[in-house]
């Protein structure tokens, strides 16, 4: 049964579902989701799966899943990757698939990567699942709307064992979709700047601050600030602040040289804080390294 909340979210989805880039609390460990130049930075075949439930307890609240796969090409300064995203809010679903290509300049002190990605989004509104107060509302008759929206993105990523910085525009094209001369959705160009570093505090403790700034055409400016501590190269514990949106708690475990698990819990700080039970985000990463070799840079970033 759909409630008034779902109807409100549907309207938001119709107007803006294809306008906003997907937002993740643990972006620092899922970099391919916002920057194609991140491909190959784990120095091995890497697979990352993420599931995010936002605003738990609200009917029709956003739910997002991603699968990112990337790897360097052996003996070449090239890396490739693929990103799949499923994003749903109310009766609006968006499936996105991107392939990425990165060219790396490797130096013994640093790495510089330039990335490109290309792909498409399949946008769909299933209006048959909406319970109407006004059964004569013609806007909700039929099977809904759908659209195929191709796009491309670019990025640059610079990293050391103890520092990284990235700049990206994941979707360059501002596609618009209309049905019967009514505008249904539009994609807005977003810009991401990410910076992070690792500072040793003691033999067994490291401090890692992260910063992400994002801007969108006609949609303002956003800021994420994160501070985490690493204990014995195994346990990450941290907190984030997303400007005018949420306060987040992050917990990460490096369970082996290959396997990593992360969890984040977001507490809304805007007008929705009394209407939901927070947001949950799970991330699992597996790196297909040889033997038990531990890679310092991928573990930090």
The domain in which residue 195 lies consists of: 1-6+34-180+188-288
Domain count, the chain: 1
DSSP collapsed to 3 states, the chain: CCCHHHHHHHHHHHHHCCCCCCCCCCHHHCHHHCCHHHCCCCCCEEEEEEEEECCCCCCCCCEEEEEEEEEECCCCCEEEEEEEEEEEECCEEEEEEEEEEEEEEECCCCEEEEEEEEEEEEEEECHHHCCCCCCCCHHHCCCCCEEEEEEEEEEEEEEECCEEEEEEECCCCCCEEEECCEEEEECCCEEEEEEEECEECCCCEEEEEEEEEEEECCCEEEEEEEEEEEECCCEEEEEEEECCCEEEEEEEEECCCCEEEEEEEEEECCCCCCCCCCEEEEEEEEEECCCCCCCHHHHHC
Q: What is the CATH number of the domain that holds 236?
A: 2.40.160.40
58 in a structural domain: yes
What is the pTM assigned to this prediction?
A: 0.84
28 in a structural domain: no
Tens of pLDDT, residue by residue, the chain (301 residues) = 344 344 334 334 433 434 456 778 998 888 999 999 999 998 889 999 999 998 787 777 889 999 999 999 977 899 999 999 999 887 788 899 999 999 999 888 889 999 999 999 998 877 666 666 655 555 555 556 778 899 999 999 999 989 999 999 999 998 876 655 555 567 788 999 999 999 999 999 999 999 999 998 776 788 999 999 999 989 999 999 998 888 999 999 998 878 999 999 998 887 766 767 789 999 999 998 765 444 554 457 7
57 in a structural domain: yes
213 in a structural domain: yes
253 in a structural domain: yes
């Amino acid at each position: 049964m759909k409630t008034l909340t779902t109807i409100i979210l549907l309207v938001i989805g119709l107007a803006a579902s294809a306008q906003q880039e997907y937002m993740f609390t643990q972006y620092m460990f899922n970099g391919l989701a916002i920057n194609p130049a991140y491909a190959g930075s784990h120095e091995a075949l890497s697979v990352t799966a993420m599931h995010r439930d936002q605003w738990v307890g609200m009917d029709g609240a956003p739910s997002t899943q991603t699968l990112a796969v990337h790897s360097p090409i052996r003996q070449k300064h090239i890396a490739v990757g693929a990103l799949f995203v499923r994003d749903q809010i109310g009766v609006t679903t968006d499936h996105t698939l991107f392939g990425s290509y990165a060219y790396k300049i490797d130096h013994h002190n640093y790495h510089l990567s330039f990335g490109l990605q290309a792909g498409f989004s399949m946008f769909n509104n299933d209006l048959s699942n909406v319970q109407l107060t006004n059964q004569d509302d013609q806007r909700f008759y039929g099977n809904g709307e759908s659209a195929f929206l191709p796009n491309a993105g670019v990025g640059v990523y610079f990293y050391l064992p103890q520092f990284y910085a990235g700049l990206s525009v994941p979707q360059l094209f501002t596609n618009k979709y209309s049905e019967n001369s009514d505008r249904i959705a539009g994609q807005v160009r977003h810009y991401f700047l990410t910076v992070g570093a690792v500072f040793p505090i003691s033999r067994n403790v490291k401090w890692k601050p992260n910063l992400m700034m994002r801007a969108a055409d006609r949609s303002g400016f956003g800021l994420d600030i994160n501070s985490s501590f690493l204990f014995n190269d195994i346990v990450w514990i941290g907190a984030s602040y997303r400007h005018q949106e949420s306060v987040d708690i992050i917990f990460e475990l490096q369970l082996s040289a290959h396997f990593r698990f992360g969890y984040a819990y977001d507490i809304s700080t805007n007008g929705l804080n009394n209407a939901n039970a927070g947001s949950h985000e799970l991330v699992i990463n597996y790196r297909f390294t040889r033997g038990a070799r531990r890679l310092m840079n991928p573990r930090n970033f």
